[in-house]
């Protein structure tokens, strides 16, 4: 089990937010998890768009372009990288069975 250490970063109205994705994680460039934002739901970095929203749209048959049209704050490269990281994580986990 991996332990996650909170990293302090400037917050709204001077409060410190706690970023839960370590800066050295491969996820840090693309995903932010902060209990003070969106109830701690993993979001695309720099947005309030939950990562789950991307996978829900894809699951229900929407194209990546369609998702990006609806969420212009999410960059294509970021969404593609998150999909790649999810696939890699799944395949790595399956290899340990």
Task: Spell out the per-residue pLDDT of the chain, length 97, in tens.
Answer: 344 444 444 444 434 569 999 999 999 999 999 999 999 999 999 999 999 999 999 999 999 999 999 999 999 999 999 999 999 999 999 999 9
Number of separate domains in the chain: 1
Burial 63-74 (b: 16+ CB within 10 A, else e): eeeebbeebeeb
Instruction: State which residues form the domain around 17.
Output: 7-95
Q: Are 56 and 67 in contact (CB under 8 A)?
A: no
E strands present in 33-88: 43-44
Q: Are 30 and 88 in contact (CB under 8 A)?
A: no
Query: Does a structural domain hold residue 72?
Result: yes
List residues bridging with 31 in a β-sheet: 44
Place of tokens 């970095």: 45
Query: Does a structural domain hold residue 2?
Result: no
Query: Does a structural domain hold residue 61?
Result: yes
CATH code of the domain covering residue 68? 1.10.10.10
Query: Does a structural domain hold residue 19?
Result: yes
Query: Does a structural domain hold residue 43?
Result: yes
Query: Does a structural domain hold residue 1?
Result: no
């Amino acid at each position: 089990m991996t332990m996650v250490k909170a990293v302090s970063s400037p917050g709204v109205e001077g409060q410190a937010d706690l970023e839960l994705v370590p800066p050295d994680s491969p996820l840090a460039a693309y995903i932010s998890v902060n209990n003070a934002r969106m109830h701690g739901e993993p979001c695309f970095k720099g947005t309030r768009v939950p990562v789950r929203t991307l996978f829900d749209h894809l699951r229900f048959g929407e194209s990546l372009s369609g998702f990006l049209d609806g969420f212009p704050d999410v960059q294509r490269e970021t969404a593609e990288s998150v999909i790649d990281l999810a696939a890699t994580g799944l395949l790595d986990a399956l290899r340990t069975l």
